[in-house]
Structure 1
Amino acid sequence: MINLGLETCIARLGSGVMRWSLVLFFIGFGLYTFTPDEAAGVAPLMAHSPVLFWVSPLLGQRGGSSLVGAIEIALGTLIAVRHVRPLWSAYGSLAASAVLLVILSFLATTPGPDPASHDAGFLVKDLTLFGAALWTSAEAFAAARRRTAASVALRRELNAIARERKHRNSDQPVGAEHG
């Protein structure tokens, strides 16, 4: 067994690595989707997806890939703001998990995928990212709840202090506070 302090340190480190890996993944791959090579690479996957089949016909191959990239960059940014806006980060991570489910569905919807191919292996790693996105979402929702509870408690305490001061001041005769 290890001591509680070390355990806490490892948990914080793991949490940070997981969150920032998701941020880098989403922003990095989001930027990559703006390249012609990536647009051509994802076009067949999107064309056979029951969720994304309409994107390329509507926006074109590059436009569809750019839309996906913009969404990925936005989600990576939302995940990154955890310490400033935990609720935004929670929803960003939850949306990222939905995106990852769509990506994982490519394994079943793309005709003739070879399970041993580079593309299949590339997609399977998204299962781990899916788990990380769910975990970071739950962690950020918990942080948002704690922040809200602390804010409510502080507001109650400040209101109680204000009521007490008002009560004390109302018990004194007018002008008594000037001595």
Structure 2
Amino acid sequence: MDRVSSEQSMNAENQDLVSVGSSIEAKSLLTKVAAWVSDRNIPFLISSIGMIAMLLWAGSFKMTAPGAEGIIPLVSNSPLISWHFKVFGPYVGSDLIGLTEIIAATLMIVGYLKPKAGIVGGLIACVMFFITSTMVMTTPGAIIVVKGLRYMSFTGLFLFKDIISLGVAFYLVTYFGKRAILSENKN
């Protein structure tokens, strides 16, 4: 996206769509509800708080014996990260994965005040969730066959949520990115 259209996009997104005197106004009840949600920044708040809570909780759990043991079959079968356990072992390896999640969450928290930190936290989450999203295809038992039809097992569904989390992480990168761009251009 070029600089001009990027600036126009940011200005359009930052407009209050239902304010008096605005060139664009929500008219139907449905669009007024959408504008109300947008004006209060609800998508960002739910996405960021949910992501931060999940990363802190999951990261902390991975630093326990049950947490480490729970991810052994996932990590061990992934061509993208199985080397990690071979180098560090499952317990230290799990600690490092948990620490990475906690660092990403912490950077997102800092991103509320310093958006560039939020960008870094979001990018870390993008890498993590890309790797875990591929585990749907590499983890034995993630896909099962029932009466000739393929379904995701509980493990498969557990991993599939990381595809959604990958989308949220990219959304947070763009949100923090727009805030950082606005901050850089405040002069």
- TM-score bin, normalised by smaller chain: 0.7 to 0.9
Could you tell me which of 12, 24, 41 is aligned with 2:53? 24
Task: Flag the 1:43–1:5 CA change in 2: closer, same or farther, 3 A.
Answer: closer
Larger radius of gyration: 1
Matched, 1:132 2:168: yes
Supply the AA of the counterpart residue of 2:153. Answer: S
Cα offset, 1:56, TM superposition:
1.4
Contact 2:68 2:90 survives alignment (8 Å): yes
Task: Flag the 1:148–1:113 CA change in 2: closer, same or farther, 3 A.
Answer: same
Supply the AA of the counterpart residue of 1:90. Answer: I
2:152 corresponds in structure 1 to: 116
1:163 corresponds in structure 2 to: none
1:6 corresponds in structure 2 to: 36
Contact 2:68 2:91 survives alignment (8 Å): yes
Cα offset, 1:95, TM superposition:
1.8
Question: What is the TM-score when the length of structure 2 is the normalising length?
Answer: 0.75
Select the structure with the greater relative contact order (CA < 8 A; seq sep ≥ 6). 1
Supply the AA of the counterpart residue of 1:146. Answer: L
Aligned residues: 150
Q: Deviations over 1:58-111 (max 9, x none)?
A: 211111100100000000111112221101101211220111010011111223
Distance 1:112 1:7 in 2: 40
Unpaired runs of 5+ residues, structure 1, are 154-179
Unpaired runs of 5+ residues, structure 2, are 1-27, 144-150
Distance 2:94 2:44 in 1: 30
Q: Where do 1:46-65 residues align within 5 Å?
A: 46-65=75-94
Cα offset, 1:8, TM superposition:
3.3
Cα offset, 1:31, TM superposition:
0.3
1:68 corresponds in structure 2 to: 97
Contact 2:141 2:156 survives alignment (8 Å): no
Cα offset, 1:7, TM superposition:
4.3
Matched, 1:41 2:70: yes
Greater fraction helix: 1
Cα offset, 1:50, TM superposition:
1.7
Q: Deviations over 1:102-161 (max 9, x none)?
A: 0011111223433432111111111111111100100101100100111xx1xxxxxxxx
Distance 2:68 2:42 in 1: 35
Greater fraction strand: 2
2:179 corresponds in structure 1 to: 143
Matched, 1:83 2:112: yes
Distance 2:38 2:153 in 1: 39
Alignment RMSD: 1.6
